[in-house]
Structure 1
Amino acid sequence: MTDISRQFYDELLADLEHNRLVLPTLPEVALKVREVVDDPDSSISDLVKIIVSDPALSARLIQVANSPLMRTGRQIESVDAAVSRLGMRIVRDLATSMVMQQMFQATSDVTDQRLRQLWEHSTEVAAICHALAGQFTKLNPEQALLAGLVHDIGAMPILTKAEDYPELLQNEEALDWVISELHPRIGGAILRSWNFPEELIAAAEQHENMTYDSPAADFVDVVIVANLQSYLGSGHHLAEQDLSQVPAFAKLGLSPDVNVIDMDGTGDAIRETQQLLSI
């Protein structure tokens, strides 16, 4: 730890605790979609009206609805058909996931590469989460996908604020330490401000807690395993973790030495899902 990283850490923590930290906002169309779906008096037509107002989201939703990922059967050619076939809650989580990419835009060239790397990692973890939830749990795969996509969301305001600390941006190890220490807590604060469900907030806050052990497999377990899988063979500190001591693997019925990307059928599904998220 350097003096500059400690100073930056202390300032971030104080801003967070006193509600001064500028948190990213969810794109308006995603907010509207979530509000409509969570309103018990709303209808499919209410949701369709919001989605069709965004041509890019409409096109991507139809594309995803027709992908092997959704296994919807016959060809879907309209937003109305996609929502009717998939259901409002699945569409809510898919729509939120699809508009997330626009949030990962740097305000300077300095942080552009870091945000690109963050988005690429988030889409990989999301894709692995989708596959794990669908094959090894009874959890909703689309909600697991969203949990994976937002698990590192807390790093965004850290990178934004780091633009005011040129010395810190030039010291990747020092910046990584601050991100590792604070992004779970900041991520939880962001998702609370977006009114996300507690199970997704927990995934953001607990995904680096290798001793996490709830009574039954949940989204935290899925994100923990997916995150560790994404770091296999890398220089990340989580790649050095003794996976036999991580309860999440056993709760998903997986061996600690598993590589889900190499499992029959799973690797292709993961790559396809990641590609769909990155369009």
Structure 2
Amino acid sequence: MGLDSRQFLSKLQGDLAAGSIEIAGFPDTCVRLLVELKDDFVSTQTLERLVRSDPALSQRVISMANSAAYQSSTGPTTTLSGAIARIGLAALRTVVLAYAFASLRDMKLYKPVQGRMGDIWARCVALATFARALSLQVEGRRVDRDAMILGGMLSGVGKIYLLAEMAAHEEVLNDFAAVEHLLQTWHVKLTRTMLKGWEFPDSVVRAATNYESARDPSSDDPVTDLLYVAGIFVDAKGDASSVASRLPLVAPAMRLGLATVNPEAVLGAAAQEAASFGGALA
């Protein structure tokens, strides 16, 4: 029997208190990989064996390793072991989750929310690609680009979890105001809980959950600043004049020296970044 909005919120609060935040329907390979990846000393051979059992996931890992974000002077890698070694455990977790979320969108169980799930994931990937493009324009600041890229990609996992939970409750889905309130009010706490449960580094958790508050004048974290500015580009949907008018007005852009950056150049660079990720994060 479906829940109404009040009952759904009560269940959500109980699940958070109990630490039982799991998305039903993750592929078995992804579940096993996420368990293995909790061990910082897991062998490449173990990871390779699990990834290799799913050809589509294998291709995503190799695509990620050959993207602009992880390019190497040694050239493209064609082996799974080489790809895993190149991107590292945190990025591998992200590819695994991207594949798992793509699988969810194809499940009948989540049909009522498939479109919204896809939109949220697409925004996360765009956030990461714009942040990386912007980071190349920043001088004199040390930026943890891994945390920035992964934090951007994973910033929407709390919303995806909420939508997955709502899918079985028609009364909740039909209460549009409640849906938006739940997504905006609870997604950060859920994202933090999920990323900590998957044992992402603290730097990634901070990036994914703090960037929306980077407009605070007291903030001084270049990673969250870059993600905040990237969000301006994403929300502008290609309107360079809109971006140009907003950047001089926001503290993160001023702190980074990006208040007068050429939006057209960033849009072009981000498009190349997105293309380089290929099918790794679709």
Q: CA deviation at 1:260?
A: 4.8
- Partner secondary structure for residue 70 of structure 2: coil
Is the counterpart of residue 217 in structure 1 residue 222 in structure 2?
Answer: yes
Q: Residue 163 of structure 2: which of 155, 159, 169 is its match?
A: 159
- Of 202-211 and 259-268, the range deviating more from structure 2: 259-268
Q: CA deviation at 1:150?
A: 0.8
Q: Tell me if the contact between 1:211 and 1:246 (Cα under 8 Å) persists in the aligned partners.
A: no
Which residue is equivalent to 2:80? 79
Q: CA deviation at 1:258?
A: 5.1
**Distance 1:63-1:277 versus aligned 2 partners, 3 A rule:** closer
Whole-Å separation in 1 of the counterparts to 2:80 and 2:157: 28
**Distance 1:133-1:30 versus aligned 2 partners, 3 A rule:** farther
Q: CA deviation at 1:147?
A: 0.8
Q: CA deviation at 1:269?
A: 2.4
Which residue is equivalent to 2:195? 191
Code of the aligned partner of 1:160 = A
Percent identical among aligned pairs is 21
**Distance 1:247-1:19 versus aligned 2 partners, 3 A rule:** farther
Encode CA deviations 1:186-215: one digit per residue, 9 max, x unaligned: 111111111222222222332322327433
User: What is the aligned residue count?
Assistant: 261
- Partner secondary structure for residue 18 of structure 1: helix
Which residue is equivalent to 1:226? 230
Whole-Å separation in 2 of the counterparts to 1:17 and 1:59: 34
Which residue is equivalent to 1:138? 142
Whole-Å separation in 1 of the counterparts to 2:171 and 2:217: 35
Code of the aligned partner of 1:100 = L
Unaligned runs of 5+ in 1: none
- Partner secondary structure for residue 263 of structure 1: helix
Q: Tell me if the contact between 2:132 and 2:149 (Cα under 8 Å) persists in the aligned partners.
A: yes
Which residue is equivalent to 1:109? 111
Q: Residue 263 of structure 1: which of 246, 266, 274 is its match?
A: 266
TM-score, normalising length: structure 1: 0.75
- Partner secondary structure for residue 78 of structure 2: coil
- Partner secondary structure for residue 236 of structure 2: coil
**Distance 1:47-1:167 versus aligned 2 partners, 3 A rule:** closer
**Distance 1:110-1:52 versus aligned 2 partners, 3 A rule:** closer
TM-score, normalising length: structure 2: 0.74
Is the counterpart of residue 97 in structure 1 residue 99 in structure 2?
Answer: no
Unaligned runs of 5+ in 2: none
Q: Tell me if the contact between 1:122 and 1:150 (Cα under 8 Å) persists in the aligned partners.
A: yes
Q: CA deviation at 1:62?
A: 2.8
Q: Residue 121 of structure 1: which of 120, 123, 137 is its match?
A: 123
Whole-Å separation in 2 of the counterparts to 1:204 and 1:65: 22
Q: CA deviation at 1:48?
A: 4.4
- Of 106-115 and 263-272, the range deviating more from structure 2: 263-272
Q: Residue 182 of structure 1: which of 165, 180, 186 is its match?
A: 186
Whole-Å separation in 1 of the counterparts to 2:271 and 2:67: 13
Encode CA deviations 1:225-270: one digit per residue, 9 max, x unaligned: 2223211159xxxx9x965554322333211x75756437513323
Higher relative contact order (Cα pairs below 8 Å, separated by 6+ residues): 2
Whole-Å separation in 1 of the counterparts to 2:207 and 2:69: 23
Which residue is equivalent to 1:63? 63
Encode CA deviations 1:151-181: one digit per residue, 9 max, x unaligned: 0111122212323442332343441222011
- Of 105-114 and 242-251, the range deviating more from structure 2: 242-251
Q: CA deviation at 1:13?
A: 5.5
Whole-Å separation in 2 of the counterparts to 1:190 and 1:167: 26
- Partner secondary structure for residue 124 of structure 1: helix
**Distance 1:46-1:101 versus aligned 2 partners, 3 A rule:** closer
- Partner secondary structure for residue 208 of structure 1: helix
- Partner secondary structure for residue 215 of structure 1: coil
Whole-Å separation in 1 of the counterparts to 2:18 and 2:269: 42
Q: Residue 258 of structure 2: which of 237, 254, 257 is its match?
A: 254
- Of 21-30 and 196-205, the range deviating more from structure 2: 21-30
Q: Tell me if the contact between 2:229 and 2:253 (Cα under 8 Å) persists in the aligned partners.
A: yes
